[in-house]
Amino acid sequence: MSNQSVQTVSTSNDKFKVVLAVVAAIAGVVGFFYLAGQPSLVRAAALVGGLLISAGIAYTSTSGRDFLNFAKESVRETKKVVWPTRKEATQITMIVFAFVLVMAIFLWGTDKLLEFLLYDVILGWKQ
């Protein structure tokens, strides 16, 4: 048996729909900035309208539906994550800060030791 994945070939119609969706989204953004003298509600309506039209067109394409399914699965997987409690998050953060402090002191000490060895002992330059 072969475990090769099957890839669907998108038609030129689907590609056209995706391009049209991008154009609609850009048109909404351009409309938002073009209507700078208008009330904020009109500008927001132009932006939201362009994005909704874009989303509607994109949803009719195969890649748009695949993306929507991917987004739904991502949200479902995110809900399965066990998030740490506030106490656990605070403890982990303090451990990270302590480690960073210890590393900073270690690197500073190493730098000063190498500076002393190089300039004072090897080269004989007194600072």
Residues 16-75 pLDDT 10s: 888 999 999 999 999 999 998 889 999 999 999 999 999 898 888 888 888 889 999 999
Domain of 105 in residue numbering reads as 83-127
CA distance 71 to 87: 31
Q: Verify that 88 and 126 share a domain, yes or no.
A: yes
The pLDDT value given to residue 31: 92
Q: Verify that 67 and 126 share a domain, yes or no.
A: no
Q: Verify that 22 and 74 share a domain, yes or no.
A: yes
Q: Verify that 71 and 108 share a domain, yes or no.
A: no
Rounded mean pLDDT, 112-116: 93
Q: Number of folded domains in the chain?
A: 2
The pLDDT value given to residue 9: 54
Asked if residue 3 belongs to a domain, the reply is no
Residue 88 has pLDDT above 90, yes or no: yes
Q: Across the chain, which distance is largest between two alpha carbons, in Å?
A: 76
Q: Verify that 88 and 50 share a domain, yes or no.
A: no
CA distance 64 to 15: 10
Q: Verify that 26 and 51 share a domain, yes or no.
A: yes
Percentage of the chain exceeding pLDDT 90: 61
Q: Verify that 48 and 19 share a domain, yes or no.
A: yes
Q: Verify that 94 and 71 share a domain, yes or no.
A: no
Q: Verify that 74 and 89 share a domain, yes or no.
A: no
Asked if residue 25 belongs to a domain, the reply is yes
